[in-house]
């Protein structure tokens, strides 16, 4: 359905925290903003259109946003917030803009930002029909200031036609799997084939706003006191785990009491399940082999007095690890390095535990990074599987006999998950797959599909026979 095709070689982030090391980059769009009122919907729509155009050029959203915010630091928080809502909403609506414009235009637009502006406006018309006339007025205002002759009238005509055909368009979109589920068709078919019981719920959850979950740092204060401060400040929620607090409503980080002092971190509940599964004991040598931005690194250190080495190939992302550890009052040996090239960073002493949170399709966290749905291609899954195999084979010799490796992805595809682990175990006679937890009916792996409670993750625990 989608007519979007990224430039050859351009790919979004491999992980749930996008890394520029995974694909070519370019400077983000940072044009002069037209003279629109600073706090107007028109200005938010224009900023959103620039970010959407950046993604449709084949580049990751995080790079585009970073460039826009840096180039326009005077944007009021309200405008920035409104623009971000429009950007994420439009990108989550994969395929719908293409389908609507195909019906509303005689021929495709050749001006990227006006095309993106229409997609932003069409998204807003769908989710806020009560503001339809304001949306049309503000979109026309933007096009009048930035577009060449004739496009102002075109924008006005397309959006008013969309209002008139609202029911007809909605009916057509509901009949098409790509526009109904708001995912690429190959993605839908893959999930349907591999998860016949849960694929629809997983896709639906992947189109929603993600939950905001906090992780309490027991090394920076009594957890009960930290939680009491949160509730007293109005940050109500529920506790999915003993040191986790899922907020009823997301809030700005700056408003969270104790965050700046390192008493709390933001980490999805699914991601928080990794560190306890590795069963790290005091004094152990631990490797976090794909560590940036450091959430799981920090969690391991919060749970145990271990000797932890964290590596990542991206220098910019390494700084995030260092920054996060500093805020939390934790220490680790942070090194630049590729997990597949241990000769450049390993001292030769085996590790007792290895966390292999490998690069993947990030299909389980697309609601946090919706550009993934636009930029990912079906053949990328095999490419990621190859990288994962190389990482696992390179890390296994670094693990001490009797040691354990936790394999983690934020993918929903079996080629990156269960099939990858099964093939690894068949190649290594000294590998034993062990129960993922201590419950009597514990399985050898754990799959979390995206839900209102957490993102999508896969876990498998491997023990090296003595």
pLDDT tens-digit readout, 314-369: 998 999 999 999 999 999 999 999 999 999 999 999 999 999 999 999 999 999 99
pLDDT digits (tens, 9 = 90+) for 371-380: 999 999 999 9
Contacts of 257 (CB under 8 A, 6+ apart): 229, 230, 233
The pLDDT-based confidence of 442 (bands split at 50, 70, 90) is: confident
- Which 3 state secondary structure label does DSSP give 453? coil
- Is 60 exceeded by the pLDDT of residue 112? yes
List, in sequence order, every beta strand (DSSP E) within 363-398: none
The 8-class DSSP code of residue 295 comes to H
pLDDT digits (tens, 9 = 90+) for 181-213: 999 999 999 999 999 989 999 999 999 999 999
Average pLDDT on 38-59 reads 91
Backbone angles phi, psi at 442, to 5 degrees: -65, 140
Helix (H) or strand (E) holding 141: helix 132-146
pLDDT of residue 466: 86
| pTM for this model (two decimals) | 0.91
pLDDT digits (tens, 9 = 90+) for 21-36: 344 444 444 456 567 7
The pLDDT-based confidence of 80 (bands split at 50, 70, 90) is: very high
Average pLDDT on 52-66 reads 92
Catalytic residues: 410
- Fold observed for domain 20-181: N-utilizing Substance Protein B Homolog; Chain A (1.10.940)
pLDDT digits (tens, 9 = 90+) for 256-295: 999 999 999 999 999 999 999 999 999 999 999 999 999 9
Distance of alpha carbon 363 from alpha carbon 345, whole angstroms: 30
For 269-464, CATH number out of 3.40.1190.20, 3.40.50.261, 3.30.470.160, 3.40.50.150 equals: 3.40.50.150
pLDDT digits (tens, 9 = 90+) for 152-181: 999 999 999 999 999 999 999 999 999 999
Closest C-alpha to 96, from 40, 170, 30, 146: 170
The second-level CATH assignment, the architecture, of 213-262 is: 2-Layer Sandwich (3.30)
- Token pair of 451 as six digits: 């839900």
- Is 50 exceeded by the pLDDT of residue 119? yes
């Amino acid at each position: 359905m989608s007519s979007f095709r990224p430039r050859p070689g351009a790919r979004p982030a491999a992980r749930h925290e996008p890394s520029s090391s995974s694909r070519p980059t370019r400077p983000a769009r940072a044009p002069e903003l037209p003279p629109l009122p600073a706090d107007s919907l028109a200005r938010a729509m224009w900023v959103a259109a620039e970010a959407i155009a950046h993604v449709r050029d084949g580049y990751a959203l995080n790079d585009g946003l970073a460039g826009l915010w840096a180039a326009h630091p005077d944007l009021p928080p309200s405008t920035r917030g409104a623009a971000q809502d429009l950007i994420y909403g439009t990108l989550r609506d994969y395929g719908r803009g293409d389908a609507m414009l195909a019906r509303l235009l005689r021929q495709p637009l050749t001006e990227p930002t006006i095309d993106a502006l229409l997609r932003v406006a069409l998204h807003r018309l769908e989710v806020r029909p009560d503001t339809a006339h304001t949306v049309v007025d503000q979109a026309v205002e933007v096009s009048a200031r930035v577009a060449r002759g004739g496009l102002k009238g075109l924008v006005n005509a397309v959006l008013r036609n969309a209002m008139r055909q609202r029911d007809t368009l909605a009916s057509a979109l509901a009949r098409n799997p790509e526009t109904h589920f708001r995912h690429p068709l190959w993605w839908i078919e893959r999930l349907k084939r591999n998860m016949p019981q849960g694929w629809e719920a997983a896709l639906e959850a992947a189109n929603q706003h993600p939950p905001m979950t906090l992780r309490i740092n027991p090394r920076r204060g009594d957890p009960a006191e930290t939680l009491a401060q949160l509730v007293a400040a109005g940050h109500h929620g529920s506790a999915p785990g003993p040191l986790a607090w899922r907020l009823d409503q997301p809030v700005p980080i700056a408003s969270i009491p104790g965050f700046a002092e390192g008493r709390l971190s933001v980490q999805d509940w699914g991601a928080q399940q990794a560190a306890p599964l590795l069963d790290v004991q005091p004094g152990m040598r631990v490797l976090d082999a794909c560590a940036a931005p450091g959430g799981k690194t920090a969690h391991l250190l919060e749970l145990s007095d271990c000797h932890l080495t964290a590596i990542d190939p991206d220098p910019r992302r390494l700084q995030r690890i260092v920054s996060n550890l500093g805020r939390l009052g934790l220490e680790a040996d942070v090194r630049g390095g590729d997990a597949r090239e241990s000769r450049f960073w390993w001292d030769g002493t085996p590790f007792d535990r290895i966390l292999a949170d490998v690069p993947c399709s990030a299909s389980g966290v697309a609601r946090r990074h919706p550009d993934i749905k636009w930029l990912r291609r079906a053949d990328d899954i095999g490419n990621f599987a190859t990288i994962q195999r190389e990482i696992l084979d390179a890390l296994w010799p670094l693990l001490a006999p009797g040691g354990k490796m936790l394999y983690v992805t934020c993918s929903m595809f079996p080629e990156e998950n269960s099939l990858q682990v099964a093939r690894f175990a068949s190649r290594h006679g000294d590998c034993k797959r062990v129960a993922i937890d201590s419950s009597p009916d514990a399985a050898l792996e754990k799959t979390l599909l995206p839900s209102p409670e957490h993102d999508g993750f896969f876990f498998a625990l491997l023990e090296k026979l003595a």
